[in-house]
Structure 1
Amino acid sequence: MTDDYSATPSRNVPPTLQRGKACLRCRKRKMRCDGTKPSCQQCVRAKKEGLCEYDDGKGKTRTQLLRETIARLESRIKELENPEHTSTSVSLFDPHILPISSEDSSSSGGDSPSSFPFSASQSPNHITSVSPPPLMACCSPVSWAPSDRCFSSPHRLFVTQVPSELAQSLLEAFIPHRDQLLVGLHVERLRSSLRRPAEEQRHPVLMNAIFLWACYFSRTPSLNQHEPLYLSRATEAFHDWLRSPTKVVDVIQGCCLLSQYFLVNGRIMEGFHYASAAASLVLQWGLHRQGSERRDVGMGLEGTFSLPPAQDAIERGERILAFWQVFCLDRCWSAALRRPPLISDGPGALSTINAPWPQDIIEYEVENFSDITNLNTVQTFLAHQIQVPVLAGGFSNFALRAKASALLDLATKVAFSWNTSGVALTPLSEQDTLAVEDSINRFIASIMPVHQMGAVHASDRHNLIVVHTLAQAALIRLYYLRGEVDQLWNEKCLLAARGMLLVIGQVSDMDIEFLDPIVGSCWASAAHVFIREMAQVETWSPITSNELGSHVGTITAALSRLSMTFPLAGFLTSRLQSSLGLV
């Protein structure tokens, strides 16, 4: 291989190092090394300072220690499986997630955050893409350490300290957006964790995802340029985590943030890979059945995916919130993209969602928990079979989001029980449609009306905007297909679309950057109702084309404002304009 010095005049060639003095990375690649410590120039130019290590004979490098640890674990696994038989690998297959090819481990690593102060001039544009996570990793019950608090040594390879001032600033930039992204974390604990040793901090997947979103929301070039850096770090930390899982709840929350980042930037496949990872993890570790665990006859592996008891009420609350974060992400984006949700909900004790409705983190701080178990939380809400006691919760901002997400998912399922000719595909299609319609309307009647939202606190208003948006989108999805051939259902669909216009009318420029990005898809669905009506207006609708065009313009303008924060909204705007041009 030709090294980087081959085209350089001889007077600039550094003196030849003694044999064995080059760093391990240069040795492996047969490149000329200048021996500079802590990082040689070859590694600096390649942005691999974190992988520049020297074997001076005085001790083993981190890489050597890690390889020896892995070799010991693999050997022990083979012994435990069958002392008289050896196999090349041990794999646990998870059917909920898709296999993705893993990157070569030699590419792992990262730049040092300390080299990127606020005014850093270098751009991390060398990171052109980030591979989806290798969601089917070779692992074993023996090597898995499913503790929510321990921090095993292999992860330290990805722990690179961000300067304290920068870390605190990034965290403060993220905190105002935590509700928007449904991150249920205790803020003071999160702040204090940054002052602890690296092994006691939150997992790098979560922290780098938080720093990524902080840079994203900052809208300042000095921080925006570091998005690829923190994105790369978060994904690399996840790759590493798969080999030795720890701090599971942190990683679940981090995967949700990564999924949302990819989705709002139009990288749908990568977004769904991380959503799949988060959904698989909450099911594997039983976060959907919190408070309803039952002892059963063991088969030797059940402890593999068991979290230790929460240390206190706040930690328990964060686990509940982590499940509902994944639930909302799954239900909303699956409905938007017309694909089945990743998290099923029964029947059967293992798959039924029994986690209590999420509450505000302050409620967990004072240990205000619902102890109702085996509630069939979502199924009970959707069926309205019983009057749920107040102690069961379900009235927080987060809970309203979860309920609206569940209704959108249910409306999507029922809507597709009709074909495009308005013919029922199942015997209960008509009955189910009316029942879902009633559930959605009752839910809308139970929350603050749209015209009163201006009188509440900003964070509550942002949440209500999203909740009303999801509810109207659920009605539109329920009515749209039948509205193609049935005048009554078409009128209902138009009424729901006008309801969406009322919600959009309450959205100010100050609100727009604090909304869940899923609202863009919901708003666009209302615009498509009006566009369809414009194409049929001469046939049987009394509404004028000008009025309908004005409605579409209102929604397009709102999407254009939203696209200033979330690029995916710009794509939706372009599609609307294309559809409008065909009318």
Structure 2
Amino acid sequence: MRCDGGKPACQQCVRAKKSDGCEYDDGKGKTRTQIMREHIARLESRIKELESPEITTPPITLFDPHAASPYFSESSSSSSHDSPGTTISLSASASPAPFPIGATADLESAHWDGQWSSMHDFPAVPQIGEPFGAEDPPLELAQMLLEIFLPHRHQCGLELHVGRLRESLTHPLSEQRHPVLMNAIYLWACFLSRPGQLYEHEGLYLSRALAAVNDAIANPAKAVDFIQASCLLSVYFLSNGRLLEGSYHASAAASLALQWGLHQIGRDDFVGSMSSERESTFRLEPAKDSIEQGERILAFWQVFNLDRCWSVALQRPATIPDSKHPWTAITTPWPQRMEDYETGEVDIGPGSPTIHAFFIHQAQVSNAIGGFSTFALHAKAAALLEGASRLSSSWSPQLSTSPSLTDNFRAFEHTITRFTTSLLPLHQLSATMPEDKYSLILIHSLAHASMIRLHEPFLDDQVSRDVALRAARSVTVVAKHIADGDFDYLDPLIGHCWVCAARVLISELAQLQTTWPPANTVDIRGELSTLLFSMNKLSSRFPLLAYQATKVQKLLDAN
């Protein structure tokens, strides 16, 4: 949007209800980004002071808030995770490059698409002592870590009410968010600060988050905190290449979301008399207000996106089912913006299956309010990716193609095309809010990757080959719209989209080189260079991308 330079927000942003994100450098003052960078520098400086109390005055006297903690029992409080003198020995990835990139044998023995069979190939974190005398960090440090994390929360898939999260730090302990969530956030703050000094404490906050898991599971009032934290832990492990651990926490989050019925918010109208047959043991208390209801809806779709997308990347079945059975149908309405929940505009949905309605072209009718937010588009793209992968993998060259499979294939292809054409065009992304831009980059990439996954088993057929090649080139076009500053905020899942595109391009390159006279391959090699550049750029933050880039480069060199 064209900015008129008005302060604190221009009229365009005010009318669009996006005044918080208005940023315009008129040369007369500092932009929001400049202020944020200076703020982070001050935070890191203050953290260094807190970590070295012997050189600061006056000293800070800490107390043990867990002497009568409602979160930890006596058995847990006596464990190593809250002992000030305890050292931690975990296989956490404190190193920015946990992959043995130079070990050719390890690379050749791993699946080229980024699959690893063991989590023991990564170095252990160094022995780190407790930098503070209590289980929770001091309030000032907790606030600093939270502020480092918040600009990146969309990158991790976390959607919640930021104001309430900030305020919870000052509430009595029983009213705060559960330590499992807060320590997962602090873990991410340290991880995102790489290569700064804070990353040395990743192991500390990882151990605290893991130690708080059991208490969170046993506390129904903190079920949403546990689900959100498990998602954060999963993405942390996955982006560091610790795929088994990442898959474990993703499955745990999905299982608990199902157990507490987050997949069926607004379900009663759909199931009718069946609702009385279901045990109410695992029913959450009614939400206190629309914001809490919104956070529950957002938490479910956070789990859904994680489950659907990474199940494809890890080549395993999705954990969350979605059938017509009353207990497994996903009826939770599409997620909305938090601003909508703040104003009480909660779309509780009709109680009918949400995903099925999208697939049968009824999304515009049944999800008029919540179906078109950026987060909802993300969920739809995730459903398309997993659905395309599941449908195409059901085909086998040993079996004859049935008419029903062909019909489903064409219908699904049409759904992907319909969704892709409904997205905001790439050339308009620069006019969106920054967090929307980062999300839309991923959504576009997922949509094209869905088309690739649908056609990939049929590349011997020229029609499927042409469709997959167009989709792969579209992924490359999306990558070209990523500015240098955008890489710091991209979801690591986009690496899988780049790998999917690279596979198709390399296959096309190999075929072109078998023709006579040899075809011109400059364009395809240029597109592969774009993808490799993007992978290497993002690998500075997420080690998983470094491994994927190495595998793609080896395949390219072989052609």
TM-score tier by shorter-chain length is 0.7 to 0.9
Which residue matches 1:462?
438
Q: Normalized against structure 1, the TM-score is what?
A: 0.73
Q: Of residues 409, 412, 423 in structure 2, which corresponds to 1:433?
A: 409
Corresponding letter in the other structure for 1:536: Q
Contact 2:266 2:331 in 1 (8 A): yes
Which residue matches 2:183?
208
> When the two structures are aligned, how many residues end up with a matched partner?
454
- 2:316 is aligned with 1:316: no
Which residue matches 2:241?
266
Which residue matches 1:185?
160
State the alpha-carbon separation in 1 of the partners of residues 265 and 371 from structure 2. 16
Deviates more, 1:374-383 or 1:185-194: 374-383
- 2:420 is aligned with 1:448: no
- 5 Å-filtered alignment, 1:562-577, equals 562-577=538-553
Q: 1:545 to 1:285 in 2, by over 3 A?
A: same
Q: 1:105 to 1:418 in 2, by over 3 A?
A: farther
State the alpha-carbon separation in 2 of the partners of residues 381 and 479 from structure 1. 21
State the alpha-carbon separation in 2 of the partners of residues 425 and 511 from structure 1. 43
- 5 Å-filtered alignment, 1:104-503, equals 107-112=79-84, 126-129=88-91, 160-293=135-268, 296=274, 302-385=279-362, 387-389=364-366, 391-419=368-396, 424=400, 426-483=402-459, 485-503=460-478
Alpha carbon RMSD of aligned pairs, Å?
3.0
Q: 1:365 to 1:159 in 2, by over 3 A?
A: farther
Contact 1:264 1:567 in 2 (8 A): yes
Shift of 1:161: 2.5
Shift of 1:128: 2.6
Corresponding letter in the other structure for 1:470: L
| SS of the residue 2:266 aligns to | coil
Shift of 1:420: 5.2
Shift of 1:246: 3.9
Contact 1:182 1:398 in 2 (8 A): no
Contact 1:130 1:232 in 2 (8 A): no
Corresponding letter in the other structure for 2:194: R
| SS of the residue 1:303 aligns to | coil
Q: Of residues 508, 511, 514 in structure 2, which corresponds to 1:533?
A: 508
State the alpha-carbon separation in 1 of the partners of residues 72 and 165 from structure 2. 33
Shift of 1:333: 0.3
State the alpha-carbon separation in 1 of the partners of residues 291 and 284 from structure 2. 15
Q: 1:62 to 1:179 in 2, by over 3 A?
A: closer
Shift of 1:106: 6.8
Q: Deviations over 1:116-156 (max 9, x none)?
A: xxxxxxxx98433269xxxxxxxxxxxxxxxxxxxxxxxxx
State the alpha-carbon separation in 1 of the partners of residues 503 and 266 from structure 2. 43
Q: Deviations over 1:311-370 (max 9, x none)?
A: 111001000000000000000001112211100101211100000000011100111122
Structure 2: where are the runs of 5+ without partners? 1-62, 94-132
Identity of aligned residues (%): 44
Deviates more, 1:400-409 or 1:455-464: 455-464
Q: Deviations over 1:37-85 (max 9, x none)?
A: xxxxxxxxxxxx98999xxxxxx99999846xxxxxxxxxxxxxxxxxx
Which residue matches 2:527?
551
Contact 1:127 1:229 in 2 (8 A): no
Q: Normalized against structure 2, the TM-score is what?
A: 0.76
State the alpha-carbon separation in 1 of the partners of residues 206 and 374 from structure 2. 29
Shift of 1:539: 3.9
Q: Deviations over 1:259-297 (max 9, x none)?
A: 000000011110111111100011000000001135658
Deviates more, 1:352-361 or 1:214-223: 214-223
Considering Cα pairs closer than 8 Å and 6+ residues apart, tell me whether 1 or 2 has the greater RCO: 2
Deviates more, 1:519-528 or 1:371-380: 371-380
Shift of 1:389: 4.7
Contact 1:476 1:496 in 2 (8 A): yes
State the alpha-carbon separation in 1 of the partners of residues 71 and 479 from structure 2. 55
Shift of 1:428: 1.7
Shift of 1:553: 1.4
State the alpha-carbon separation in 2 of the partners of residues 52 and 209 from structure 1. 18
- 5 Å-filtered alignment, 1:71-90, equals none
- 2:552 is aligned with 1:580: no
| SS of the residue 1:488 aligns to | helix
Shift of 1:240: 3.2
Contact 2:444 2:478 in 1 (8 A): yes
Q: 1:290 to 1:108 in 2, by over 3 A?
A: farther
